[in-house]
């Protein structure tokens, strides 16, 4: 949700910022811009479209500068055009800002500024910040830092703002509340970014700026101050990220790379936690809160999108194995209905990015009401893990494709480990069930690798169906959330309308849609619901529907009944989503690519949704 890069030091700022913006483009890609300070003057270049369009615009222009800021945008206020692209300038043109987030009370501030004579060029909330800082600085005759501090007291919302000022040419000032900001520490240079990916090739040492902190960043110095203007000692952390993990590595798309990485990422998520031979399962973060889990009267899972689907799978797992009642809530809905939190409730927050604003504010609300919050996140050091009482990282590595794939299966891997561990400790899983599950879990990376060998076969099926306009995805039990996820992947990357439903619900409405032009994808692997789902398939076939079925290997009954099958290895029912979702990811990927779409950056989407 908007990517920010800043540089100050001895290098040429432009190439550093441009490369950084390309790395952050997954956060938003409707326009991009850059401001450089050249001999005391600001040079600003902005362009609607992708970072490559900005690069083309700037080609041949003079870009020499050792300090600058850049931005790649996901529009909230104002159309994605050149004018609304960041950086934005103050009225006197001396101050440039880039902003990630939303200023909720911008309209009243803007009105007030207009009355004072300010003239705005575009429609963004962000442009207001530049003018507001200028106005406050002038009114109070104060230094920039003080003006920023005063402005922060007046604005409501979420933000990272980085400010470049002609009158303060030796520093960048950055502030954060509710959106991420990382500062890379180099020798005589500093890098600012929305995540560590633009920084990693220059330095491993980073500081994650906290909410309400102000960072004054000079080539040789990083001064961090809290909201009371007290200097803080920056907590320098070592980055645990490899450059290769944020590059395509020979694949056509990040989405493809990330789908194919899944055996390794699931393995990474089990590494150091699972030892099936010794019957050991250890999740560090869980250990300390095991009593809270065992005694929980209720668990509430909070998440959005794909992470919410992982939460639905977890509901089935936890209820079955640990016998704890679970509610799975869209974080955005939970937050605003004055949620009831009782003593003994445990909140499980699931988020790839760890920055999703809806999830973040929901868990803050739950925490305030006394709940124990356990975070399941991928990005180390992100906001959600930081505000959670405890948690477990999913270890999927950076996910760059906007449509989530490997993060989903890594989430499932962590969630099933939680369910198994709590169930075992609570005594609701017998030792033999426990050992069986551990052994089955250990085999999942190999089973996922088996499914990936079907890539070409799935591509052929994609070719057959790429022209259809609507799809239905159906599954029962553990496979119902898989159906939802399959439908979401398809609509995200191919723009084909797709719905996911519990298969039994079909006859309560969606069956009205069934006809020859509606492909129905059934997830019909062998489990407790198998015979029922076979009946549901019959119902679709009886109405001339086209059926693609994900079945277990050796299932000749369904092979004969349906139009196309994708056979996957069998596993324990609770682990089947980890295997069964893979063909649906590949189907969506191939249909998107066949339709000539940029599957890594679907239209209108952005990764890491840091606005509510
Ligand atoms: C879908 C997708 C989104 C995210 C959702 C939550 O492919 O990626 O639906 O799952 O925006 O994001 P996180 O998991 O970062 O909280």
Helix locations, 24-62, DSSP H: 51-58
**SS in 3 state form for 424-437?**
HHHCCCCHHHHHHH
Find out whether 339 and 352 touch, Cβ atoms under 8 Å: no
CA of 352 to the centre of ligand 1 (A): 7
Residues with CB under 6 A from ligand 1: 304-307, 351-353, 356, 359, 403-404, 488, 492, 608-609
Q: Ligand 1, residue 407: give the atom nearest the CA.
A: 14
CA of 482 to the centre of ligand 1 (A): 15
Structure tokens at 51: 């970072």
Q: State in Å, rounded, how far the first CA of the chain is from the last one.
A: 11
Cis peptide before 81 (omega within 30 of 0): no
Pairing of strands 564-568, 546-552: parallel
Do 99 and 241 sit in the same domain of this protein?
yes
Minimal-distance CA residue to ligand 1 atom 10: 306
Structural domain count of the chain? 3
Give the model's pLDDT for residue 153: 95
Q: Ligand 1, residue 384: give the atom nearest the CA.
A: 16
Do 216 and 280 sit in the same domain of this protein?
no
Q: Has 187 been annotated as catalytic?
A: no
Cβ neighbors of 30 (< 8 A, separation 6 or more) are 48, 49, 73, 74, 75, 80
Give the model's pLDDT for residue 612: 73
Name the residue of 352, 409, 608 to mutate for ligand 1: max ligand atoms within 8 A of Cβ: 352
Range of the domain at 513: 453-601
Do 78 and 203 sit in the same domain of this protein?
yes
Find out whether 271 and 442 touch, Cβ atoms under 8 Å: no
Do 181 and 329 sit in the same domain of this protein?
no
In a domain, 204, yes or no: yes
Stretch (H or E) spanning 292: helix 290-295
Give the model's pLDDT for residue 607: 77
Do 259 and 241 sit in the same domain of this protein?
no
CA of 317 to the centre of ligand 1 (A): 21
Do 182 and 230 sit in the same domain of this protein?
yes
Do 480 and 369 sit in the same domain of this protein?
no
Find out whether 386 and 250 touch, Cβ atoms under 8 Å: no
Give the model's pLDDT for residue 412: 98
Q: For 56-69, b where at least 16 C-beta lie within 10 A, e where not — what string?
A: ebbeeeebebbbbb
Name the residue of 404, 409, 490 to mutate for ligand 1: max ligand atoms within 8 A of Cβ: 404
Across the beta sheet with 205-208, the strand order is 41-48, 31-38, 67-73, 3-8, 190-193, 182-185, 205-208, 236-238
In a domain, 188, yes or no: yes
Nearest to 458 by CA among 308, 597, 311, 594: 594
Give the model's pLDDT for residue 227: 87
Structure tokens at 130: 């530049």
Q: What is the CA radius of gyration of the chain?
A: 25
Do 474 and 543 sit in the same domain of this protein?
yes
Residue with tokens 């009831």: 340
Give the model's pLDDT for residue 577: 98
Minimal-distance CA residue to ligand 1 atom 16: 351
Q: Ligand 1, residue 411: give the atom nearest the CA.
A: 14
In a domain, 612, yes or no: no
Domain of 185, CATH number, reads 3.60.20.10
Minimal-distance CA residue to ligand 1 atom 7: 403
Beta bridge partners of residue 326, listed in sequence order: 299
Do 512 and 572 sit in the same domain of this protein?
yes
The domain boundary residue, chosen from 245, 263, 296: 245
Sign (positive or negative) of CA dihedral 247, 250, 252, 255 = negative
Dist. CA 236–CA 494, nearest whole Å: 42
Find out whether 599 and 589 touch, Cβ atoms under 8 Å: yes
CA of 305 to the centre of ligand 1 (A): 5
Do 136 and 240 sit in the same domain of this protein?
yes
Q: Ligand 1, residue 405: give the atom nearest the CA.
A: 7
The SS3 call for residue 281 is strand
Across the beta sheet with 298-303, the strand order is 326-330, 298-303, 345-351, 372-377, 390-393
CA of 229 to the centre of ligand 1 (A): 36
Dist. CA 493–CA 402, nearest whole Å: 9
Structure tokens at 428: 């609701």
Dist. CA 44–CA 46, nearest whole Å: 7
Q: What is the DSSP letter of 178?
A: B
Helix locations, 117-193, DSSP H: 125-140, 144-154
In a domain, 609, yes or no: no
pLDDT along the chain (612 residues), means of 10: 94 98 90 96 96 96 97 90 96 96 94 97 95 97 96 94 96 93 97 95 95 96 94 92 85 97 97 96 93 95 98 98 97 91 93 94 91 94 92 95 97 98 98 98 98 98 97 97 98 97 93 93 96 94 95 94 97 98 98 97 83 74
Note the pTM of the prediction, 2 decimals. 0.89
Q: Ligand 1, residue 492: give the atom nearest the CA.
A: 7
Pairing of strands 31-38, 67-73: antiparallel
The domain boundary residue, chosen from 442, 474, 490: 442
Find out whether 258 and 401 touch, Cβ atoms under 8 Å: yes
Stretch (H or E) spanning 300: strand 298-303
Beta bridge partners of residue 497, listed in sequence order: 470
Nearest to 158 by CA among 209, 105, 79: 105
Name the residue of 356, 495, 611 to mutate for ligand 1: max ligand atoms within 8 A of Cβ: 356
CA of 611 to the centre of ligand 1 (A): 13
Minimal-distance CA residue to ligand 1 atom 4: 305
In a domain, 448, yes or no: no
Output 498-501 pairs: Cβ under 8 A, ≥24 positions apart.
Answer: 498/470, 498/471, 498/472, 498/473, 499/470, 499/471, 499/472, 499/473, 500/472, 500/473, 500/474, 500/475, 501/472, 501/473, 501/474
Nearest to 536 by CA among 472, 474, 583: 474
The SS3 call for residue 351 is strand
Give the model's pLDDT for residue 523: 98
Give the model's pLDDT for residue 198: 95
Q: Has 166 been annotated as catalytic?
A: no
Q: Ligand 1, residue 359: give the atom nearest the CA.
A: 16
CA of 401 to the centre of ligand 1 (A): 11
In a domain, 610, yes or no: no
CA of 355 to the centre of ligand 1 (A): 10
The domain boundary residue, chosen from 245, 270, 294: 245
Minimal-distance CA residue to ligand 1 atom 11: 305
CA of 499 to the centre of ligand 1 (A): 17
Dist. CA 42–CA 169, nearest whole Å: 10
Give me the catalytic one of 46, 50, 489, 607. 607
CA of 607 to the centre of ligand 1 (A): 7
Give me the catalytic one of 2, 46, 377, 489. 2
Find out whether 132 and 155 touch, Cβ atoms under 8 Å: yes
Dist. CA 155–CA 158, nearest whole Å: 9
Q: Ligand 1, residue 377: give the atom nearest the CA.
A: 14
Domain of 528, CATH number, reads 3.40.50.10490
Q: Ligand 1, residue 402: give the atom nearest the CA.
A: 8
Do 26 and 144 sit in the same domain of this protein?
yes
Give the model's pLDDT for residue 247: 87
In a domain, 447, yes or no: no
Do 238 and 259 sit in the same domain of this protein?
no
In a domain, 141, yes or no: yes
Structure tokens at 185: 């520490």
Find out whether 533 and 492 touch, Cβ atoms under 8 Å: no
Give the model's pLDDT for residue 218: 98
Other beta carbons less than 10 A from residue 416's beta carbon: 26
The SS3 call for residue 193 is strand
CA of 568 to the centre of ligand 1 (A): 26
Q: For 528-566, b where at least 16 C-beta lie within 10 A, e where not — what string?
A: ebbeebbebbebbbeeebbbbbbbbeebeebeebbebbb
User: φ and ψ at 288, to 5 degrees?
Assistant: -65, -30
């Amino acid at each position: 949700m908007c990517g920010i890069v800043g540089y100050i030091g001895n290098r040429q700022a432009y190439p550093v910022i441009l490369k950084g913006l390309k790395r952050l483009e997954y956060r938003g890609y409707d326009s991009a811009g850059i401001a450089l300070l050249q001999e005391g003057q600001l040079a600003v270049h902005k362009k609607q479209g992708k970072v490559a369009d900005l690069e083309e615009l700037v080609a041949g222009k003079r870009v020499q500068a050792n300090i600058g800021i850049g931005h790649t945008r996901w529009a909230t206020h104002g159309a994605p055009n050149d004018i609304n692209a960041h950086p934005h300038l103050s009225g006197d043109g001396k101050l440039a800002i880039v902003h990630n987030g939303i200023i909720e009370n911008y309209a009243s501030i803007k009105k007030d500024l207009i009355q004072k004579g300010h003239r705005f060029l575009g429609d963004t909330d962000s442009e207001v910040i530049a003018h507001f800082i200028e106005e406050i600085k002038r009114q109070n005759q104060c230094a920039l830092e003080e003006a920023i501090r005063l402005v922060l007291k007046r604005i409501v919302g979420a933000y990272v703002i980085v400010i470049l000022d002609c009158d303060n040419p030796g520093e960048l000032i950055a502030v954060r509340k509710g959106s991420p900001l990382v500062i890379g520490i180099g020798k005589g240079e500093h890098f600012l970014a929305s995540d560590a990916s633009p920084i990693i090739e220059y330095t491993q040492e980073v500081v994650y700026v906290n909410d309400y902190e102000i960072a004054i960043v000079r080539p040789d110095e990083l001064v961090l101050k809290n909201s009371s203007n007290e200097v803080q000692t920056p907590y320098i952390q070592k980055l645990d990220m490899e450059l290769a993990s944020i590059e395509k590595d020979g694949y056509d798309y990040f989405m493809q790379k990330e789908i194919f990485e899944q055996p390794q990422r699931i393995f990474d998520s089990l590494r150091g936690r699972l030892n099936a031979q010794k019957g050991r399962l250890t999740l560090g973060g869980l250990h300390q809160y095991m009593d809270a889990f065992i005694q929980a009267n209720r668990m509430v899972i909070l998440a959005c999108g794909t992470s919410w689907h992982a939460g639905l799978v977890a509901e089935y797992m936890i209820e079955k194995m640990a016998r704890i009642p679970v509610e799975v809530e869209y974080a955005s809905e939970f937050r605003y209905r004055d949620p009831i939190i009782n003593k003994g409730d445990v909140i499980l927050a699931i988020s790839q990015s760890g920055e999703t604003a809806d999830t973040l504010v929901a868990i803050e609300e739950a925490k305030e009401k006394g709940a124990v919050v356990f975070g399941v996140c991928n990005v180390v050091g992100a906001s959600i893990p930081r505000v959670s009482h405890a948690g477990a990282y999913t270890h999927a590595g950076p996910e760059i494709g906007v449509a989530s794939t490997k993060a989903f299966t890594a989430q499932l891997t962590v969630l099933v480990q939680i369910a198994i561990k709590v169930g075992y400790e609570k005594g609701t899983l017998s030792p033999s069930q426990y050992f069986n599950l551990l052994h089955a879990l250990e085999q999942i990376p190999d089973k996922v690798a088996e499914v990936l060998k079907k890539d070409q076969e799935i591509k052929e099926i994609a070719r057959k169906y790429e022209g259809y306009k609507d799809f239905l995805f159906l599954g029962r039990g553990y496979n119902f959330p898989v159906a939802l996820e399959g439908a979401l992947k398809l609509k995200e990357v191919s723009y084909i309308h797709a719905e996911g439903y519990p298969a039994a619900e079909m006859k309560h409405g969606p069956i009205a849609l069934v006809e020859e032009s509606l492909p129905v994808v059934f997830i019909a692997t062998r489990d407790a619901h198998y015979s029922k789902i076979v009946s549901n398939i019959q119902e679709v076939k009886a109405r001339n529907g086209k059926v693609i079925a994900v079945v277990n290997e050796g299932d000749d009954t369904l092979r004969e009944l349906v139009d196309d099958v994708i056979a996957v290895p069998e596993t324990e029912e609770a682990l089947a989503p980890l295997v069964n979702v893979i063909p649906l990811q590949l189907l969506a990927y191939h249909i998107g690519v066949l339709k000539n779409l940029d599957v890594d950056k679907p239209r209108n989407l952005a990764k890491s949704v840091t606005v509510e």
